[in-house]
Amino acid sequence: MIVALFGNDRQASKSRYVAGILAALRASGFGICVERRFARFVSKDLGISLDGCEVFEEMPPGVDMAVSVGGDGTFLSTAAAVGLCQVPILGVNTGHLGFLADVAPERAADAFRAVAAGQYVVERHTLIRVIVDGADCCVQPYALNEVALLKHDNSSTIDVTTTVDGELLTNYTADGLVVATPTGSTGYSLSAGGPVIVPRAAALCLTPVAPHSLSIRPVVLCDDVELSLKVRSRSGNFLLAVDGKSLSLPDTVRVTLRRAAHTTGVVKVFHKAYFDTLREKMGWGGTNF
């Protein structure tokens, strides 16, 4: 079994587990290839040997699983790098929250042994395809978490005229609009007042950011719709953010969002129930009644 290793290459203090992860992968019999930027960080900044590991720029053929070492942001970057390959991703969490990257570094060796023994499941997560004026978005064509259209360059609100399958939904006057998948419902959308959506729901959530009108609330839609978004801004531009990667665009363009034809696979080895994870990560009470 061949594993492609990705990781956070900006915080050496959080990468102290990398040597153990590499050793655990080798002990479980995995062949290892390492993404070039992370490989440079591991060998030069951390001084860890990558002997026997292949270094790659783009996903090589024959990879069975990707391993993301970092937080949920690193997991999202890994999902973007995996792209259309349909290789499932296991996340080792050296970050903070860890909804997607949910394997603690101390349990990484157990997780790799479980994968080697076939004791895991792969959850399929919906992606949003991002189209700008008829072409795939150049900053990133797919979003696992969310797409956000945000004000840019000044403090004025923007107007986002939103249609669903050609039918007008509303004109949002706000600091921005977040369109989230169920995976991303616990991210930016949640912080803006959106609902938590269970991962298996076939839904998208539209959450305005600081809307001008108190009557504007998040809207949950079926995920088989096509959304058309047209921004009007006093500055003449806006910020398009796709899973945290942003691009400044003129407000003359139209952004179209639809469910992608492919999904992202998330490897689960310890099979923790989603609601257990939710209570733990959100700090909710248990059975105090």
- Hey, what domains does the chain have and what are their CATH numbers? 2-120+269-282 (3.40.50.10330), 127-261 (2.60.200.30)
Which residues lie closer than 8 Å to 214 by C-beta, 6 or more apart? none
Q: Residue 274: what pLDDT? A: 78
Percent of the chain with pLDDT over 70: 97
Where do we find the tokens 């079926």?
222
Q: Is 48 exposed, middle or buried (0-12, 13-18, 19+ CB in 10 A)?
A: middle
Bridge partners (DSSP) listed for residue 229: 162, 255
Q: Where is pLDDT greater, at 95 or 79?
A: 79
CA 128 – CA 255 distance, rounded (Å): 12
223 part of the active site: no
CB atoms within 10 A of CB 198: 11
pLDDT class of 99 with cuts at 50, 70, 90: confident
Which candidate in 9, 51, 72, 243 is catalytic? 72
pLDDT class of 98 with cuts at 50, 70, 90: confident
Mean pLDDT, rounded, of the chain: 92
- For residue 95, what is the DSSP state? S
- For residue 62, what is the DSSP state? T
Q: What is the mean pLDDT of residues 243-263?
A: 96
**Rg, Å, the chain Cα set:** 20
Q: Residue 9: what pLDDT? A: 87
Q: What is the mean pLDDT of residues 34-38?
A: 96
Residue 126 has pLDDT above 50, yes or no: yes
Q: Residue 289: what pLDDT? A: 47
Q: Residue 285: what pLDDT? A: 74
Q: How many CA atoms lie within 13 A of 128 on its CB side?
A: 35
* pLDDT tens digits, one per residue of 58-85: 999 999 999 999 989 999 999 999 988 9
pLDDT class of 286 with cuts at 50, 70, 90: low
- For residue 19, what is the DSSP state? H
Backbone torsion region of residue 113, taken as left when φ is above 0, otherwise alpha when ψ lies between -120 and 50, otherwise beta: alpha
Q: Residue 287: what pLDDT? A: 59
Bridge partners (DSSP) listed for residue 243: none
Bridge partners (DSSP) listed for residue 146: 180
Q: Residue 288: what pLDDT? A: 53
- For residue 13, what is the DSSP state? G
Is 261 strand, coil or helix?
strand
